[in-house]
Every structure is written in structure tokens, then in C-alpha cells.
Structure 1
């Protein structure tokens, strides 16, 4: 069974120094602490700089003795992250997990992975090949994806909220849906329609 007291403590730890680290974790709903949304900033001096990346986190029943299940909700171009599903290839999210690790250390490790791709152990073979064969094109593509999917202007968000509210959805639900899918209007609409 998930240790929810520990999860509460970890959420407080993550959010305490948000202004410094840029890392935040929030529950997707007040009723379910086993499904969370993590946010990490793109590391500086990388093609991901300036982006804000959302990571869907599901805690298995064995947490903290089993690793959290994490995948990017924000589309990202990286050899160790699936460009299709957002799946992450990272040892501490699999066999190198330890109960001494926390959600924050896991998110810091994911952020470090953005800085130091491992193309020899890829999650996305197409991206890994591009990284190895044509690094400049990889950097340009990763930067384009960051600008397209991870940099959402506040004006853009308000326009999306207005558009979805005009379709008849309550504003609070629209804002929650947009936040939970990293600002992707189409995914937010799917989520609103499935509720």
C-alpha cells in the first residue's frame, strides 16, 4: 500500500524550494495522491532551456519500495524519452530504484537526463540515431519541440481557456485539464470529454 504520509511529506519537500529548483509536484486531484503531476524546468545550456516540462507520475501500491511510474506529458525530443508516448528510459525508474530516493530526487534525475542524453541506451531509436549522426539537426529539432510544446505563453493559455469555456466546460475544469496535460488544448479537450 502506498505510504500516503510519506507522499504528503515529499510533496511539501518538492514544493518548498520551487522558486530555486523550479521543481513542483501536485496531485491531479485532491482525492488521489497516487496520481501526480511533476514539473521540471529545462536545464540551462541545453536545447530544453526555457521550457517547462510536465511529467505524469503514478505511484504503484508498493511505493516507496517500488519506483514511481513516470512519463513525460509534454512532448520532448530526446534519445532516452519516447517522442510518441513520453516513456522514460532511466535506471532509477527501473532496477536502480531505492526507497531512500524521493519524488524530488527522481525528478532531478530526469532533469539531469535532459542535460546528458545516453544515446547508446535509447528509448527512441530515431532520435538516438539523429543525435549520433547529425548532432546539429538533433539540437535544432529538440529546440523546436521545446519552443512548440514546453513554452506556453500566458496569453496562449488564456486563449485556450476561453475557447474551451465557450464550448460549455466550466472554467475551473478547463484550467485543471490544461495544466494536467501540459497546456495541450487537444489533450485537454479529450480529458474534458471523457469526464
Structure 2
């Protein structure tokens, strides 16, 4: 696993991504921390979200546990724990996928919140029924928690 994670870290570094920084937390290769910038034209624009990646011993056969440490108003992320909807990463996981795939998925989640398979039903309902109110609250939370 550590050889695979080291290789993935190098692959991500070569991409020179301007919207995320990621690497081992406290020199622990099984625990990474990412700082993800909220995408432009989304309610999360201007925010930086801290996200934990915990890699199980049998990674890549099992996906990493991913959790937002920064409080976020999103239908697919638990507001109290930061856990993301299991379906988003877990259900389609395969050993051929990697951390970069997870990062792209998280960026896509921020750009296109989905009312399908929510972990926060009230936020999903608001997203579906009153996007402007959803976006206003998401922007407010981003300013309060992710700046």
C-alpha cells in the first residue's frame, strides 16, 4: 500500500493542480489531508475546505475514508460529521481508481451539488425547491467556516 500511495502522491504533484494541495498529515502515509478550493461559479467559491483521507490497510481494494473537516452546507455531506454520501465514492470503487479520482469527484460535488442520494434531506429539498435560498446559505457557511 505505501508504495502505491507514494506513487499516487507523485502523480498528483506532477499535475500541478491549482485548486488543491494534498499530502500526508503528520508524515503518516495512511492519513492525508487536502485543502480544496471552492470552484468558481459555485456557492463554495472563495472558500478553502480541509478534507481528511484515511487509507485502510487493504487500499486500493477498499476506498479511502473521506471526511470534510471544514463545516459545509451541502446535501451530500453531513453537516455535523463531514462524512460524504457513501454512494459517491464507495459504490463505484475499484482498485484501478485512485486519490486523484477522489479529488476530481469532490470538486465535481462542490460544483454540482445533487439532491439525489442525500445525507442531508432538508438541504436536498431546499436545493431542489429553492436553489437561491440554498446557494445563499451555502455562501454564508463558506464565508463563516471556509475562509
Q: Which has the higher strand share?
A: 2
Paired position in structure 2 for 1:141: 137
Aligned counterparts, 1:39-78, within 5 A? 39-78=35-74
The 3-state SS of whatever aligns with 2:29 is: strand
Name stretches of at least 5 consecutive residues in structure 1 with no aligned partner.
152-195
The 3-state SS of whatever aligns with 2:95 is: coil
Q: Which has the higher helix share?
A: 1
CA deviation string 1:120-155 (max 9, x = no partner): 21011121122122211110000011111111xxxx
Paired position in structure 1 for 2:102: 106
CA deviation string 1:34-93 (max 9, x = no partner): 111022211111011111111111001110111010010111111111111111115352
Equivalent-residue separation in structure 1 for 2:12 and 2:18 (angstroms) = 9
Paired position in structure 2 for 1:26: 23
Equivalent residues of 1:92, 1:106 under 8 A apart? no
| CA RMSD between the two structures | 1.4
The 3-state SS of whatever aligns with 1:60 is: coil
Paired position in structure 1 for 2:85: 89
Structure with the bigger RCO (C-alpha within 8 Å, sep 6+) is 2
Runs of 4+ more than 4 Å apart: none
Aligned counterparts, 1:164-183, within 5 A? none
Paired position in structure 2 for 1:131: 127
Q: If the length of structure 1 is used for normalisation, what is the TM-score?
A: 0.71
Equivalent-residue separation in structure 2 for 1:8 and 1:91 (angstroms) = 27
